[in-house]
């Protein structure tokens, strides 16, 4: 595994192996990039680590979620870079050149689906697969001006996919065009089991207050007005009984323990090297005992029930996807770490609950993209996509 190819460092530099796709279908004419945690027949799945790539055998079959897209006419154009073992939010892999954010080249792409977001934002692929455990679709989508959905947990099977934290891991995808996004949603999701219209917008002050400054707050207010023009102003919901710091640590604890259970044996083997920061996250996961995990699972279940009650059948939570535009590449590490921890406080509600959340590219700060999110009840994924399409159309005067 020699590195990346192309001007954006989005694609891995791998020997090309033919990947068959249907000649006709709803995705015919669209190109597909695949994050390198999903198996593609004939390719090794490297998971963002050169040693893991070299140890892997070529995949005998393509991950079913990816195969569905190929069977619908999408044409495979390559595997994309991911943060190491998908355990990062920033898109900075110590083993590869950093993918370029085409919409804001002085800023990061976000991760772990960094190459996929870069490829779509740069016009190198029409659609690209990603995964979202803690925000790895939503954050890069917001950073790069893309549409990105964290799907209801468990709704799309993850066979043929590298696990990170299985009770959080979800399949997702990127696109700039909502028509293409909706086509993929129809293929991957089928019909929603949630049948009630999402007509009651809500907001939580504790989430809105995580914006990093006045410029971000002003930009977000403008995005909320676009939602309000279509649905009415979001109603401020009562404060939940779970503090945002408690939810953040609940997520970090359970994700860290599961990540170590998924990869600890391989990491502990002699000679397996991880880049800095990713290594420390895994080591933290190794310290979490079963009793701690059990207590935090109880907190998680209680939060899921409380958020479910808040949303009911028709509620949709309106929130900033992340605290602002993507951080600058030149930002000091401590600033990036502080930004990451703030972002995870916004992102963890969907992960802890398992409910779907879509981010929409309708805002900007300092000339860089900044997304607004809608979080809905379990299995309301396609309704969120349809609602997002209406908001985007209204925002561009196409309604």
**Are 141 and 18 members of one domain?**
yes
User: Does 261 map to a domain?
Assistant: no
Residue 252 is encoded by which pair of tokens? 């970090």
Q: How many domains does the chain have?
A: 2
* pLDDT score at 124: 98
Contact (Cβ atoms closer than 8 angstroms) between residue 297 and residue 255: no
| Cα–Cα distance for residue pair 72/379, rounded to 1 Å | 23
**Are 342 and 301 members of one domain?**
yes
Name the helix (H) or strand (E) containing 287: none
| Cα–Cα distance for residue pair 254/303, rounded to 1 Å | 14
**Are 113 and 205 members of one domain?**
no
**Are 58 and 130 members of one domain?**
yes
User: Does 270 map to a domain?
Assistant: no
User: Does 345 map to a domain?
Assistant: yes
**Are 220 and 140 members of one domain?**
no
- Report pLDDT digits (tens) over 138-161: 999 999 999 999 999 999 999 999
- Report pLDDT digits (tens) over 35-44: 999 999 999 9
CA 208 from centroid of its chain's CA atoms: 20
Residue 189 is encoded by which pair of tokens? 């999701």
Q: Which of 21, 72, 88, 112 is catalytic?
A: 112
Number of CB atoms found within 10 A of residue 314's CB? 15
Number of CB atoms found within 10 A of residue 236's CB? 11
Residue 325 is encoded by which pair of tokens? 């535009």
* pLDDT score at 2: 58
Which CATH number characterizes residue 105's domain? 3.90.1300.10
Q: Which of 21, 72, 136, 395 is catalytic?
A: 136
**Are 184 and 210 members of one domain?**
no
113 catalytic residue (yes or no): no
| Cα–Cα distance for residue pair 42/52, rounded to 1 Å | 16
**Are 95 and 231 members of one domain?**
no
- Report pLDDT digits (tens) over 56-82: 999 999 999 999 999 999 999 999 999
112 catalytic residue (yes or no): yes
Looking at the DSSP assignment, which residues form a beta bridge with residue 12? Answer: 4
User: Does 88 map to a domain?
Assistant: yes
390 catalytic residue (yes or no): no
CA 337 from centroid of its chain's CA atoms: 18
Q: Which residue range(s) make up the domain with 361?
A: 200-242+291-395
User: Does 2 map to a domain?
Assistant: no
**Are 354 and 229 members of one domain?**
yes
Mean pLDDT estimate for the chain: 96
What does the pLDDT profile of the chain (399 residues) look like in tens digits?
558 888 999 999 999 999 999 999 999 999 999 999 999 999 999 999 999 999 999 999 999 999 999 999 999 999 999 999 999 999 999 999 999 999 999 999 999 999 999 999 999 999 999 999 999 999 999 999 999 999 999 999 999 999 999 999 999 999 999 999 999 999 999 999 998 999 999 999 999 999 999 999 999 999 999 999 999 999 999 989 999 999 999 999 999 999 999 999 999 987 778 998 899 999 999 999 999 999 999 999 999 999 999 999 999 999 999 999 999 999 998 999 999 999 999 999 999 999 999 999 999 999 999 999 999 999 999 999 999 999 999 876 543
**Are 206 and 320 members of one domain?**
yes
User: Does 255 map to a domain?
Assistant: no
Assign 342 to helix, strand or coil.
helix
């Amino acid at each position: 595994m020699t590195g990346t190819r192309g001007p954006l460092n989005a694609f891995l530099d791998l020997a090309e192996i033919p990947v068959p796709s249907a000649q006709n279908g709803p995705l015919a004419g669209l190109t597909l990039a695949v994050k390198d945690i999903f198996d593609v027949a004939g390719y090794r799945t490297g998971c963002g680590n050169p040693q893991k790539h070299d140890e892997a055998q070529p995949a005998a079959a393509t991950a079913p979620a990816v195969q569905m897209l190929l069977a619908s006419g999408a044409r495979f154009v390559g595997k994309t870079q991911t943060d190491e073992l998908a355990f990062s939010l920033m898109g900075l892999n110590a083993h590869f050149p950093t993918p370029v954010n085409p919409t804001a080249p002085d800023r990061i792409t976000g991760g772990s689906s960094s190459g996929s977001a870069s490829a779509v934002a740069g016009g190198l692929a029409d659609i690209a697969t990603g995964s979202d455990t803690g925000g790895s679709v939503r954050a890069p989508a917001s950073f790069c001006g893309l549409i990105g959905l964290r799907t209801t947990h468990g709704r799309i099977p993850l066979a043929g996919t590298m696990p990170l934290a299985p009770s959080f891991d979800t399949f997702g995808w990127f696109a700039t065009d909502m028509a293409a996004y909706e086509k993929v949603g129809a293929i991957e999701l089928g019909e929603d089991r949630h049948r009630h219209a999402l007509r009651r917008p809500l907001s939580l002050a504790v989430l809105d207050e995580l914006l990093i400054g006045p410029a971000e707050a002003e930009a977000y207010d403008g995005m909320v007005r676009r939602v309000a023009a279509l649905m009415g102003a979001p109603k401020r919901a009562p404060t939940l009984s779970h503090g945002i710091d408690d939810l953040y640590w609940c997520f970090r604890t359970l994700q860290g323990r599961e990540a170590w259970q998924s990869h600890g044996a391989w990491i502990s083997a002699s000679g397996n090297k991880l880049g800095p920061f990713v290594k420390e996250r895994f080591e933290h996961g190794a310290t979490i005992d079963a009793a701690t995990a059990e207590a935090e699972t109880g907190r998680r279940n209680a939060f899921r029930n409380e958020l479910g009650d808040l949303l009911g059948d028709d509620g949709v939570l309106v929130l900033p996807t992340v605290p602002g535009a993507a951080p600058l590449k030149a930002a000091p590490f401590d600033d990036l770490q502080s930004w990451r921890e703030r972002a995870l406080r916004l992102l963890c509600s969907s992960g802890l609950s398992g409910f779907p959340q879509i981010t929409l590219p309708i805002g900007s700060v300092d000339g860089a993209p900044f997304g607004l999110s809608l979080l809905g009840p379990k299995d309301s994924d396609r309704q969120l996509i349809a609602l997002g399409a209406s908001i985007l159309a209204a925002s561009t005067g196409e309604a």
